[in-house]
Chains A and B, each alone.
Chain A
Amino acid sequence: MNIVVDNFDAYVGGMVDTIVLTLLSFALAFVVGTVVAGFRVSPVPPLRAAGTAYVNIVRNTPLAVLMVLFWFGLLPNLGFRFSRFWAGIFVLTAYTGTFVAEAVRAGINSVAVGQAEAGRSLGLTFPATLGQVIMPQAMRTVVQPLGSIFIALIKNSALVTIISVPNLTKAGEDIGTKSADLFGSIVGVGLAYLVLTLPAGAAVGWIERRVAFRR
């Protein structure tokens, strides 16, 4: 375990990178997912179709494939300038957004039909009904799936290593290459991830018990 002690700073730096990647892409994915879920229940057919296509295609493609397709295939040819970091954030957001969208949609469907009917009877428009009547109620049932999506994202963020974005896994790989001790360095990475995921799991469980309720 000497390797972990010797490279402690590098591991901590990697953990910070992973935390930043996770929080940033989760916040963005939450926005994207909520908007797409809104699209999918809206009375506007093109938005519904676009939302459905996005969710079904991106969700069924492996994250690793999305990473290489975006970074090595699309970016050089679309003429956008993205740093590696933001490309990683973009792909993590796009992928996680589909799961958020599905969770939020399930939450919307769990709200009693009478709520939407009441909103319409009061003369609210569709966006007003959705945003002011349905969503606030839907969000409470969505807390639990969002928690599991968040923890999955901590783990999924490791895949930005494929496009060489600094993060915990890449830090471990670099330490392994430098010290020629692959075994020890990877065990160190695993332990560092557990330091992140286990407390995150406990925290998510605590939040769930506080806010969520079951229908």
Chain B
Amino acid sequence: MTAPVLADALGPRSRRQARVASVAAAVVIVGVAALFVRRLQDRGQFDAALWRPFTIWGTWKFLLIGLLTTLKAAGLAMALSLALGTLLALGRLARSFVVRLPAVVFVEFFRGLPLYVLILFCGFGLIDVGLEISKFQALVLGLTLYNSAILGEVFRAGILSLDRGQTEAAFAVGLGYWEAMLLVVVPQAFRRMIPAIVSQLVTLLKDTSLGFVILVEELLRRSQLAGQFFSNPLQAYAIAALMYVIVNYSLSRLARRLEIRQRRRYSAGAIQVTGVEDLAIVGAQAEAAQAQAEG
């Protein structure tokens, strides 16, 4: 870890203060951690018996199948959201009001709902009124409705960040509106949005855990079942959390790397994605870019 710019080249007094603060902070951090460990130990949470299930391949297989379901739901929802999101972005940027209106309504509607409620709606509400879909399909449907609204905004930001000359050149060589969009604008916008898409994939992966409220057997549900079966909820949930962190942290790193590369490539115009949940901010950036383009 490199020292941040703010704290470089401290003077002798500040260096002394920093050393004192370091020691004090280390003592406090270690002390609090030790207290927690002690308390957990007093309750016997480190007993081998509670951890033993996780030395058996069968338990891991059970959890890994859950992880596979999680990845499958996330991958499927991502693919569907990318397709639907592209259509929504193009719809929102279309000149015709009749095309624009439904896209705007769809995006604003589904972006404003908690995913939890959407998944309840797909998993219980729709099935309640007689729609025949599996719980897994209901989960993917809920994730897709929500994420296509978000990715639609991401795409719109990407398209608006492109130089206007690209569209003008496409028109100049005689392409029609939709040809220009599909052959010239969308491929470039898509490349620009790759870091944002990977970063949204992290959010999407985390969100699949909501499948457990409609009893889809993804990673969280399976760790819940394992915790109930072995009566060790703390250990089971901790292992599940660790698995999520490993997958998501790698993806977050990848998104960050891609973003830095992207920024170097386009210097300006890359959309900032880190530190933002749901990329709702990208929508705001899109608004700003559009306002700039229009006047």
Contacts and interface: CB of A to CB of B under 8 A. Distances in A.
Interface of A: 40-50, 52, 56-57, 59-66, 68-69, 72-74, 77-79, 99, 101-103, 105-106, 108-109, 113, 116, 120, 125-126, 129-130, 134, 144-145, 147-149, 151-152, 154-159, 161-162, 169, 172-173, 176, 181-183, 186-187, 189-190, 193-194, 197-198, 201, 205, 208, 214
B234 A48 contact: no
A116 B18 CA distance: 17
B141 interface: no
Given A99-B275, A149-B276, A172-B120, 9 more contacts: A57-B245, A62-B205, A62-B209, A66-B241, A108-B6, A152-B277, A158-B116, A183-B125, A205-B284
Given A45-B22, A61-B206, A73-B234, A208 B6 contact: no
Contacts of A197: 112-113
Contact of B29 (A43, A46, A148): A46
B117 A158 contact: yes
Contact of B1 (A48, A108, A147, A172): A48
A83 B237 CA distance: 21
A129 B275 CA distance: 24
B128 A182 contact: yes
Contact of A189 (B117, B202, B281): B117
A152 B284 CA distance: 14
Contacts of B118: 190
Interface of B: 1, 3-7, 9-11, 14, 17-18, 21-22, 25-26, 29, 36, 39-40, 43, 45, 108-109, 112-118, 120-121, 124-126, 128-129, 202, 205-210, 212-213, 220, 224, 227, 233-235, 237-238, 240-241, 244-245, 248-249, 252, 272, 274-278, 280-281, 284, 287-288
Query: Is chain A's binding surface mostly helix, strand, loop or mixed?
Result: helix
Contacts of A78: 36, 39-40
A161 B25 CA distance: 36
Contacts of B114: 154-158, 169, 193
Given A48-B1, A62-B244, A43 B14 contact: yes
A3 to B, nearest CB: 12
Contacts of A68: 220, 224, 233, 237
A169 B39 contact: no
Contacts of B124: 176, 182, 186
Nearest to A124: B14
Contact of B278 (A43, A59, A102, A152): A152
Contacts of B277: 99, 148-149, 152
A20 B249 CA distance: 32
Contact of A162 (B213, B234, B245): B213
B38 to A, nearest CB: 10
Contacts of A187: 121, 125
A52 B10 contact: no
A159 B248 contact: no
A60 B244 contact: yes
8 contacts: A43-B7, A65-B209, A73-B235, A74-B234, A103-B276, A125-B14, A126-B6, A183-B126
B117 A169 contact: yes
A154 B172 CA distance: 47
Nearest to B282: A148
A99 B125 contact: no
A190 B124 CA distance: 14
A125 B20 CA distance: 14
